[in-house]
Amino acid sequence: MDMRDIEIFRAVMNAGSTSKAASLLDISQPAVSQVIKKFEAESGLRLFDRVRGRLVPTQEAQALLGEVDLYFAGFENLKHRIRSLRQFGLQRLAIACFPALGTGFMARAIAAFEPERRGIAMSLQIMSSREVHQRVSSGRVDFGLMADELAVTGMERSSFTSFPGVIVMPRDHPLARKSRVEPADLVHYPFISLNPEDAGRSRLEEALRALGLSLKTVIETPFTNSVCELAMRGVGIGLANPIVALDYAERGLVLRPLSIDVSFKSLLIFRAGVPLSENARELLTTMRIQLEHDVRQLQPLLGGRARKPPL
């Protein structure tokens, strides 16, 4: 069997019929049927049952499809790498980052890194922590920055941030007059919650349950940026990563420390056994310097309560 046979098998499985697979691949239906028969003969497996003129995948075909998908994913990664090397050579950095730190913080860090002066082309991909993990494990990026909500088995990892969450609100909110917010304060106002799978939300709700308290959630959102935007417009108050909230403070968002520690944590992840380039190491240094600068910016907004990041 060759790659074309595997491609046709995959098309039949995904399209659901030989006619649809033929249309997708721009070949004749008899040609597809012939390849499927050949594929079964060479593999020694019965991959399809013939039912009223239709091909119905067997359990063996379903099991084989998982391996075929992995094969094609690896092939796509190879094509992506070839295109990247052809366009940029080795002077390229690719980073995957979860949204909380990907929009504001990474923009500041990359600006300080000055890629144009260094002659480096960069790719910054902002995506979910799960997708960050996938990009790093497949080798499509130099390193990733993700929340701590997923296991990172098989990866090298390093703690990047650990900050107590802050309560965000518009400047005219009653809680803005307080120097810090108590858990009991939260239950009196509409609350903007992160999605249930968010680790910060889970930590907050566990702490409140222990105190016999619950929130009046009016809206859920997956992004801390959205929490800040909604709070600034008076929809409610919310718990936010202070590094994200810093981007909105100059636009009128008020940040207040919470008397209980509900942390937001992030991890740097790397492929095990793959050394970082000199450019990647220099970018990481710049990111840590930028983080220290951001912490200094947060101090007056939080009464000196921002926690120094791990270095």
CA 151 to each of CA 162, 195, 224, 243: distance values in angstroms, whole numbers, following the listed order: 17, 18, 21, 23
Q: How many domains does the chain have?
A: 3
DSSP assignment letter at 2: -
Question: Last residue of some domain: 49, 83, 117?
Answer: 83
Taking only the tens place, the pLDDT of each residue in 211-250 is 999 999 999 999 999 999 999 999 999 999 999 999 999 8
307 found inside a domain: no
Q: Let me know whether 172 and 204 are in one domain.
A: yes
- Given this model, what pLDDT does residue 64 score? 85
Domain housing 55:
3-83
Residue-level pLDDT at 283: 97
Judgement on whether residues 121 and 185 belong to the same structural domain of the protein: no
Residues 219 and 237 in one domain: yes
Within this chain, do residues 149 and 294 fall inside the same structural domain, yes or no? yes
Is there a single domain that holds both residue 47 and residue 169?
no
What CATH code is carried by the domain that includes residue 97?
3.40.190.10
Residue 310: per-residue pLDDT: 44
**Co-location of 54 and 176 in the same domain:** no
Examine the domain organization and report whether 43 and 123 are in the same domain: no
Shared domain for 46 and 188, answered yes or no, is no
pLDDT score of 70: 77
In this structure, the answer to whether residues 124 and 271 fall within a common structural domain is yes
pTM reported for the whole predicted model: 0.68
The residue with tokens 């950095």 is 93
pLDDT tens digit at each of 311 positions of the chain? 677 888 888 888 888 888 888 888 888 888 888 888 888 888 888 888 888 777 888 888 888 888 887 777 666 665 655 665 555 445 689 999 999 999 899 999 999 999 998 889 999 999 999 999 999 998 999 999 999 878 888 889 999 999 999 999 999 999 999 999 999 999 999 999 999 888 889 999 999 999 999 999 999 999 999 999 999 999 999 999 999 999 999 899 999 999 998 999 999 999 998 999 999 999 999 999 999 999 999 988 886 555 544 43
Question: Is residue 241, in this structure, part of any structural domain at all?
Answer: yes
* Upper half-sphere CA count for residue 77 (Cβ side, 13 Å): 14
Q: What is the pLDDT of residue 51?
A: 82
Residues 174 and 259 grouped into a single domain? yes
The per-residue pLDDT for 285 is: 97
Residue 88 is predicted with a pLDDT of 46
Rounded CA separation 189/236 (Å): 7
In a domain, 306, yes or no: no
Query: What pLDDT score does 79 carry?
Result: 63
The 8-class DSSP code of residue 194 comes to E
CA–CA distance from 9 to each of 1, 51, 78, 251 (Å)?
11, 18, 21, 55
Same domain as 143, residue 270: yes
